[in-house]
Amino acid sequence: MSEKTERYELLKQQAQALLTGQFDLVANMSHLASLIFNELPQLNGTSFYRFKNDELILGPFQGKPACMHIAVGKGVCGTVAATKKPEVVPNVHEFSGHIACDSASNSEVVVPIFKDGKFWGVLDLDSPEYNTFDDVDASYLSEIAPIVFGVQAEIGGRA
């Protein structure tokens, strides 16, 4: 098991212990954003965005102030809202239409969050380093993000 995989396995256990049985969504998102931000290296932002009124609205986050509203199809988060698939971006400056909420960000991973089979929002992680994220990050974050609902919710649209 790689160091990254071990780190994510521990993070998943911590998130489950912290949030399972807790159902205040704002508190859960706040705790999970903080846990991820403080446990994963090389992050400068961890944000939840909720899908509401046909756009993404900023929820609890850690890091510098973030974009409050993101249109579907715009930037990395908006692309994930449109495709409902994770995006791993090694260099955000090469991503067409990238929205620079924090000019220090150089790489990004965004995963969709589903609740009861419906698209609910996204989890967005930013790094000041290039090539920080890969498919391992996207896979584990897709498992960890739905824990905000206080139970083992659907992962990536799957039961």
Average pLDDT over residues 112-127: 97
Q: Residue 156 has what pLDDT?
A: 47
- pLDDT > 80? residue 158: no
Give me the amino acid identity at 38.
Answer: N
Q: Could you tell me how many residues make up the chain?
A: 159
The pLDDT mean for the chain works out to 93
pLDDT in tens, 33-52: 999 999 999 999 999 999 99
| pLDDT at residue 28 tops 50 | yes
Reported as a pLDDT band with limits 50, 70 and 90, residue 125 is very high
Q: How confident is the model at residue 151 (pLDDT cuts 50, 70, 90)?
A: low
Higher pLDDT, 102 or 31: 31
- Asked whether residue 153 carries a pLDDT value surpassing 80, the answer given is no
Three state DSSP letters for 44-113? CEEEEEEEECCEEEEEEEEECCCCCEEECCCHHHHHHHHHCCCEEECCHHHCCCCCCCCCCCCEEEEEEE
Which tens digits make up the pLDDT trace of 1-23?
899 999 999 999 999 999 988 98
Topology, domain 8-148: Beta-Lactamase (3.30.450)
Q: If DSSP codes are grouped into helix, strand and coil, which group holds residue 123?
A: strand
What residue ranges do the domains of the chain occupy? 8-148
